[in-house]
Amino acid sequence: MNGRLALCALWAILVIAAPGRLGLRECRAGSIQDLLDNNNGMITVGGLKFTFTNNSVTSDPAGNPTAAQVDVTAVAGGLMFSFNPLLSLTTPDAKDQYVSISYSVMAASGITGARLSFTGLALDVNTKSEVTETFPGRNEMVNVFTMQDVAGKVTGQNNQSVAFPDRPLTLNVTDTGHLSTGVRGGGATSTAQLYDITNTFAVVPEPPSFVPGSIAALAGLGVWWLGRRRAAA
C-alpha cells in the first residue's frame, strides 16, 4: 500500500511541475505565412512572444523569397528562419540580392541581449553572404558574414551578440540578408548562398514560482501522512 501511495505522490508532483517545462521543447511552426494564416502571426517560445505582420518579409528582387518560403523553427531562446528553397545567387555579373525579415519580440521580464547566427556560403572569388540585424528605434546592430575576396581568401564570422542594458520589454527586429557576386571574366559564374538565420534572446530571469512547488510538496506530505495512519491502524 505504501508503495502505491508513494507512486501516486510522485505522479502528483510531476503533473504539477510539468507545465513550467513545456516551453523548453523545440517545434516547427511552418512558414511565416502559415503563422499569419493560422495564428494571427504569433508564436511563443518559452517566455518570448514573437509577432509577424503581412509586411514581415520583403525582398529585392521582389517576391524572392516570399513569406511562404521562409520557414520558422523554434529553438532554445528564439527562432531559426530557413529558406525553402535556399537563397542562391549565381551569375557572371556583379549582382546583389536582399531579403528582410521583420517582427517584434516581447518578454514580460525584459530582454537583456540578442544573438545572431547564420549559415551562408561564398563559393567563388569576389562573393559575399551576410546578415545584418538591426532594432528599429535603437542604435544597436549585429552583423555576420562570409566572404571570398578576389584572391580567393575566405573570411567571416558566423555569430555575434549585443547587450541591452535598459532591458526593454519589447523589441522590433529586422534581419537583412544580402548576397553579392562580382564579375570573374570570361563568362564564368559566381555563387553566394544563404541557408538560414537564427535569432536568440537573453531575458531577465523570472522569480522562481513557489506555488507549484508548495502544492506538490503539500500533496506528497498529505499522501505520506495518510499512508502512515493506515499503516498504524
For 151-161, the pLDDT digits (tens) are 999 999 999 99
- Give this prediction's pTM: 0.79
- pLDDT tens-digit series, residues 150-191: 999 999 999 999 999 999 999 999 999 999 999 988 889 999
User: What's the confidence (pLDDT) of residue 216?
Assistant: 55
Q: Is the pLDDT at 224 greater than 90, yes or no?
A: no
Q: Is the pLDDT at 74 greater than 50, yes or no?
A: yes
In the predicted model, what is the mean pLDDT of the chain?
A: 85
Q: Is the pLDDT at 7 greater than 90, yes or no?
A: no
**Average pLDDT rounded to a whole number, residues 18-37:** 66
**Residue in the structure block whose three cell numbers are 549582382:** 95
Q: Is the pLDDT at 143 greater than 60, yes or no?
A: yes
